[in-house]
Amino acid sequence: MVSQMPMATLTPDTQSLLARRERVLSPSYRLFYEEPLHAVRGEGVWLYDAQGRRYLDAYNNVPVAGHCHPHIVEQVTRQASVLNTHTRYLTELPVLVAERLLATMPAEMGSVILTNSGSEANDLAIRISRMVTGGTGVIVTDCAYHGTSDLLQGMSPVTGLPLGKDVFTISLPLEMPDPAAFTALVRDALDRMREAGVKPAALLVDTIFGSDGAVSDPVGFLKGAVEEMHREGAFVIADEVQPGFGRTGAGMWGFARHGIVPDFVTMGKPMGNGHPVAALVTRREIAEAFTRHQRYFNTFGGSSVSCAAALATMDVIEREGLIANAATVGGYLKQKLSDLAARHPNILTSVRGAGLFIGVQTPSGEIATRIVNGLRQSGVLIGGAGRGNAALKVRPPLPITQDEADYLIQQFEQVIQTTAG
Ligand SMILES: Cc1ncc(COP(=O)(O)O)c(C=O)c1O
């Protein structure tokens, strides 16, 4: 993601681990930050490095309930010592997960397939969409990321790799003039498809548009696009890998902010608070149409320990009121970041987002990278996103307190002052 500091300036333990890593892991891996963080422990919103220094983890949207949450650790450990098997046996845990997920969704959603990663869930959603509609065309935004399989790399323009066959992009404005603007973009993509002789299959969108830089407003702008896709006999896939499990502070799912009912909901990252568990949820009739053509089995998708992690994560989200906290502390943090932007308009040009998914725009990727690395040195971890990597992504675990948000703002202000100077 960023170039690394010269080896000699790194601590001896970082140098040594880095050298071992480079010897045995593929060079295709990238580390965050000019000075890579050697993380050895996590607790709540904090990560600790090998020297015992703590960092407020405001980047990592996987440990939604906080790092190493005791309830989740206990449930995963207990299940690992009782039974860990797959969905070809009759066991209760996958049923419990599916029941609990469906209870958070519109009544139209009636069927769950458990997978190991968001990529597998998206891959399957595309496969089913193409099979059931008979179309092939897929619409994505031009900075989207949807996964790591060969198919999905071709639907993830942010990677810079060539687009896949029959994939059409729309260029999402960061500040949308009105809800109809998005509908017009989708309509235009559908027209381009028709001209190219391609039958549409699906619109695939992250409902908080995280890698586009957190495009959140106006609320409801996805509505018209759903109608356009359905009019064409095509589907809408809500990729909830980023906004799902309460992050937007407006219910469990990002699509709820838009008042839509998608045809597929895909999820992953926060689902097991760090344990690999993901899922695809769809309408019953779509699942039945798919099943008439194909069976599905995934060795680890829906295994007992993964299900225990998912159930325990949902327990914590409910018991600790994490969605309400995302709304309250997220609103506070967004306001404070907006105040900061008003004081430094040449560096922070706008603040977007919902709940605890906040995007802060800067004028360039170079400035954003300086801020990201400056904050890492000050003990706060955030990341970059959007066109030219010029936006900052702020996504702390959902239990973050107002005091911790204040700490983040204090460090932010200091780093901005240095960047401005
Ligand atoms: C929006 C979105 N969709 C899908 C994925 C892929 O998920 P996974 O890495 O679990 O395969 C990601 C991962 O970053 C993502 O951000």
Tokens of 128: 């089913």
Q: What percent of the chain has pLDDT over 90?
A: 94
* Binding site membership of 118 for ligand 1 (Cβ less than 6 Å): yes
Tokens 């992050």 appear where?
247
What pLDDT shows up at residue 349? 97
Express each pLDDT in 380-402 by its tens digit.
999 999 999 999 999 999 999 99
Nearest CA to ligand 1 atom 13: 147
pLDDT band with cut points at 50, 70 and 90 for residue 421: low
Within 10 A of 341 (CB to CB), how many other CB atoms are there?
Answer: 18
Report the interhelical angle of 304-319 vs 93-103 (nearest 10°).
40
CA 317 to chain centre: 17
Q: Do residues 420 and 348 touch, judged by C-beta distance below 8 A?
A: no
Instruction: Kindly give the distance from the C-alpha atom of residue 146 to the centroid of ligand 1, in angstroms, as a whole number.
Output: 5
The Cα–Cα gap between 191 and 231 comes to 13
Closest atom of ligand 1 to CA, residue 269: 10
Pair 161, 224: CB distance under 8 Å: no
More confident residue, 354 or 10: 354
The percentage of residues in the chain with a pLDDT greater than 70, rounded to a whole number, is 99
Beta bridge partners of 115: 278
Per-residue pLDDT tens for 50-94? 999 999 999 988 999 999 999 999 999 999 999 999 999 999 999
Which of 145, 206, 357, when mutated, tests ligand 1's pocket best, judged by the most ligand atoms within 8 Å of its CB? 145
| Alpha-helical segments (H) within 32-117 | 70-80, 93-103
Is residue 1 scored above 60 in pLDDT?
no
pLDDT band at 420 (very low <50, low <70, confident <90, very high): low
One-character DSSP codes across 140-201: EETT----SSHHHHTT-GGG-PPP-TTEEEE---SS-SSHHHHHHHHHHHHHHHHHTT--EE
φ and ψ of 264, to 5 deg = -135, 145
Asked if residue 117 has its Cβ within 6 Å of ligand 1, the reply is yes
Q: Does residue 222 have a pLDDT over 80?
A: yes
Distance 413 CA to ligand 1 centre (A): 31
As a whole number, mean pLDDT of residues 199-213 equals: 97
133, 201 contact by CB (below 8 A):
yes
Pocket residue to mutate for ligand 1, from 32, 141, 264, 269, most atoms within 8 A of Cβ: 269
The pLDDT tens digits for 26-58 are 999 999 999 999 999 999 999 999 999 999 999
Mean pLDDT of the chain: 96
Distance CA(250)–CA(341), nearest Å, equals: 24
Q: What atom in ligand 1 is closest to the CA of residue 276?
A: 10
pLDDT in tens, 348-367: 999 999 999 999 999 999 99
Query: What is the Cα–Cα distance from 334 to 96, expressed in whole angstroms?
Result: 36
How far is 67 from 78, CA to CA, in rounded Å? 18
268 lines ligand 1 (CB under 6 A): yes
Q: 123 CB less than 6 Å from ligand 1? A: no
**Ligand 1 site, residue 147, Cβ cutoff 6 A:** yes
Determine whether 272 is exposed, middle or buried from the number of CB atoms within 10 Å of its CB (0-12, 13-18, 19+).
buried
Query: Element (H or E) spanning 303, and its range?
Result: none
Residue 292: DSSP 8-state: H
Q: Which residues pair with residue 242 across a beta bridge? A: none
Which residue type, as a one-letter code, is found at position 338? S
For the cut 50, the answer to whether the pLDDT of residue 282 exceeds it is yes
pLDDT for the residue 7: 79
Looking at the chain, how many residues does it have? Answer: 421
pLDDT for 377 equals 96
